[in-house]
Amino acid sequence: MSARRRVAAGLLAAGLALGGLATAGLPAFYESFLYIIFSWIALATSWSLLSGYAGYFSFGHGAFFGAGMYTTATLTTALGLPFLATLPVAGVVAAALGAGIGAVVFRVKRLRGELFGLLTLAVGFVLATIVLNTRIDGGPGVYLSAVPLPRLLSSPTGTLYLLGLALALATVAAAYVIAHSRLGLGLYAIHDDEDVAELEGVPTLSYKLIAFALSAGIAGVAGGIHAMYVSYVTVGETFSITVPLYVVLMSVLGGARHWLGPAVGATIIAASLYTFTGGQQAVLGRAAVAFVLILVILLLPEGVVPAALARWRRWRPHPLEIFTTAASTPAPAAPAVALTCENVWRAFGGIQALRGVSLSVEPGEIVGLVGPNGSGKTTLINVISGYYAADRGRVVLGAEVLTDRPAHEIAGLGVSRTHQIPRPFAHFTALDNVALAATFGATRLTPGQARAEARDWLEFTGLGRRAAALPHELNLHERKFLELARALAGRPRVILLDEVLSGLNPAEIAGAVRLIQEIRGRGVAVLFVEHLMRAVLELCDRVVVLNEGTVIATGSPHEAMRAERVVEVYLGKAHVVA
């Protein structure tokens, strides 16, 4: 049975068992106890879709939950709509709120990390103030006790129980499907390094918006159901800090990156909290729960579910996969074309990094880009790959103008790059790092095909045996080659190599030089930034020398390296030229 079927069967079995339990006539106390757990499962799991997967820690989940509560409260009491009909509306209102906030916030690069958390926290306060001071609430709160509750089961609590169960199961199923889809892969990549994800072809803005809208929408539906459960909705209770803090705690405890983690965390915390609700032992009991939580988070920082899975795998190790595929080396995904930069300018504050750079790289050609540190080489690569916009001038690939396109589109057109200091996705194995590029690069493969192809690229770069290793387990030499494998996996038409050889010793360099020659042999256009003159002379058909953002020499390597100006500003002495 495939993993996907096993999960589907598991969720279905849980649904039937828990649903059957209610029809068999569970005491009302247990129905509402379990409903609370389901509600927390839906909330924590939905929170993790954006905050766990993509790493955008939100403290605003209470706002979407509250938006859903007040939508249902208002529609049922003021407009007399039937309760069930208000639930989709609650979801849509909350999702629109989330998407609206995201559409503004996600465009500002600075608003990552703590700032995003603070901003979402503020959303809850703003919403509470609006609700409190308008006719939505107005101060005294909204009573829903007169709203008719459809009887799905004999008791009213039974109905809420079933609705909560359905929402929790649907949310967990959605979390599973997303985690194993293209969307999930992109979100995980955003978590590890958003800039690199965009450069590898992940449409980061739209992915974050989808995740945010979905996450907020589910919280809205949960809020709608909960309005009926509490039947008296007040601003103070609804927008308290409880929901935003608990969902974080639950997800982190269970493992926010894993689809099942938040559900497990929610069950543990909700169950232990509501076990101690009354009497003298309540305070002591909660203190004990808090103490245990601190211990668990200290000992299992990745969360309960990932830790348990790691232990399980150690007991039952997977058989080692032996790669039998010959390292086939596919050609670029699209016909070869030339890359041209025309009069490219770019400034940072007062510093003019590029002053009208023009150059071109033909298919199957290696053009060396050399020059002193700070002369603008990396800036040019950043402009070509779309990480920076050009102030003036344009970059053209065949018939397509690349200037002003987002970086993920440029990657999709067949431009890939490496980073001077390797930037692998830290939580992805070597194989998955490469597979991500094959999923989002010019090839647009499905995640399954991409993994198969990623193996070939790992073999090609000599990393076949390290496929299962995480980046921190690789040494610099291997991380450099992982960069190269990842750049190749999108089957680019143009590849921008930013100092791939630095930090390698002469013998390792010889191996890398042979690889680059093979890449060129496949009709790829190569722009090669490097300080290592021996490799530049050996590999490059032409050389472009930059100094202070201007091209000061071009020509065959030997010509360019002999130019007086180049020797003066860059080489120091002419000893390099053989």
Partner 1 sequence: MLEVRHLAIAYGGAPAVWDATLEVGEREVVSVIGPNGSGKSTLVNTIAGLLRAHSGELRFDGVDLGAVPSHLVCRQGIALVPEGRRLFMRMSVEENLEMGCYRGEARRARTTTLERVYRLFPILRERRRQLAGSLSGGQQQMVAIGRALMALPRLLLLDEPSLGLAPAVVDQMFEIIRAINGEGVAILLVEQNVVRALEIAARAYVLEEGRTVADGPPAILRQQSRIREAYLGLRDGGDVNP
Q: Is 308 in the site for partner 1 (CB under 8 A)?
A: no
Position among 90, 235, 344, 571 found at the interface with partner 1 (CB under 8 A): 571
* Torsion sign (Cα): 28, 33, 36, 40: negative
DSSP of 179-235: HTSHHHHHHHHHHH-HHHHHHTT--HHHHHHHHHHHHHHHHHHHHHHHHHHH-EE-H
Position among 502, 522, 523, 563 found at the interface with partner 1 (CB under 8 A): 502
For tokens 């390094």, what's the residue? 193
| 528 membership: H or E segment, kind and range | strand 525-529
Position among 373, 399, 514, 564 found at the interface with partner 1 (CB under 8 A): 373
Return the number of the residue (30 or 348) whose C-beta is nearest partner 1. Answer: 348
**Beta strands 525-529; 366-370: pairing state:** parallel
Q: In what order do the strands lie in the sheet with 415-417?
A: 415-417, 494-498, 525-529, 366-370, 542-547, 550-555
Taking CB under 8 A as the binding criterion, the range among 82-90, 93-101, 367-375, 450-458 that sits at the site for partner 1 is: 367-375
Position among 372, 406, 462, 523 found at the interface with partner 1 (CB under 8 A): 372
For tokens 């290696």, what's the residue? 366
Q: Tell me how far, at minimum, the Cβ of 203 lies from partner 1, in Å.
A: 30
Q: Tell me how far, at minimum, the Cβ of 514 lies from partner 1, in Å.
A: 12
Interface residues for partner 1 in 379-438 (CB under 8 A)? 420-421
- Residue 34 one-letter amino acid: L
Return the number of the residue (316 or 514) whose C-beta is nearest partner 1. Answer: 514
For tokens 């509560």, what's the residue? 69
Position among 371, 412, 422, 549 found at the interface with partner 1 (CB under 8 A): 371
> Tokens for 218?
């589910």
Interface residues for partner 1 in 226-255 (CB under 8 A)? none
Closest CA to 19 of 116, 164, 224, 135: 164
SS3 (DSSP) at 330 = coil
Size of the site for partner 1 (CB under 8 A): 35
Q: Tell me how far, at minimum, the Cβ of 317 lies from partner 1, in Å.
A: 17
Q: Tell me how far, at minimum, the Cβ of 475 lies from partner 1, in Å.
A: 3
Residue 352: phi and psi, rounded to 5, are -90, 105
> Tokens for 145?
């006790």
Q: Is 510 in the site for partner 1 (CB under 8 A)?
A: yes
Return the number of the residue (342 or 508) whose C-beta is nearest partner 1. Answer: 508
Position among 5, 320, 505, 514 found at the interface with partner 1 (CB under 8 A): 505
DSSP of 219-252: HHHHHHHHHHHH-EE-HHHHTSSHHHHHHHHHHH
Return the number of the residue (357 or 370) whose C-beta is nearest partner 1. Answer: 370
Compose the 454-493 pattern: x for residues touching partner 1 by CB under 8 A, - for all others.
------------------xx-xxxx---------------
Query: Do 129 and 137 touch, CB atoms closer than 8 A?
Result: no
Q: Is 507 in the site for partner 1 (CB under 8 A)?
A: yes
Return the number of the residue (292 or 310) whose C-beta is nearest partner 1. Answer: 310
Question: What is the C-alpha to C-alpha distance for residues 559 and 574, in angstroms, rounded to an integer?
Answer: 12
Distance (Å) of CA 519 to CA 180, 398, 411, 478, 515: 31, 19, 17, 18, 6
Q: Is 503 in the site for partner 1 (CB under 8 A)?
A: yes
Q: Tell me how far, at minimum, the Cβ of 114 lies from partner 1, in Å.
A: 16
Question: What is the C-alpha to C-alpha distance for residues 419 and 417, in angstroms, rounded to an integer?
Answer: 7
Q: Tell me how far, at minimum, the Cβ of 458 lies from partner 1, in Å.
A: 17
Q: Is 564 in the site for partner 1 (CB under 8 A)?
A: no
Radius of gyration of the chain (CA): 28
For tokens 């987002």, what's the residue? 406
Q: Tell me how far, at minimum, the Cβ of 485 lies from partner 1, in Å.
A: 16
Q: Tell me how far, at minimum, the Cβ of 355 lies from partner 1, in Å.
A: 17
Start-to-end CA distance of the chain, whole Å, equals: 64
Return the number of the residue (374 or 523) whose C-beta is nearest partner 1. Answer: 374
Q: Which residues bind partner 1 (CB under 8 A)?
A: 351, 370-374, 420-421, 472-473, 475-478, 499, 502-510, 531, 533-534, 569-573, 575-576, 578
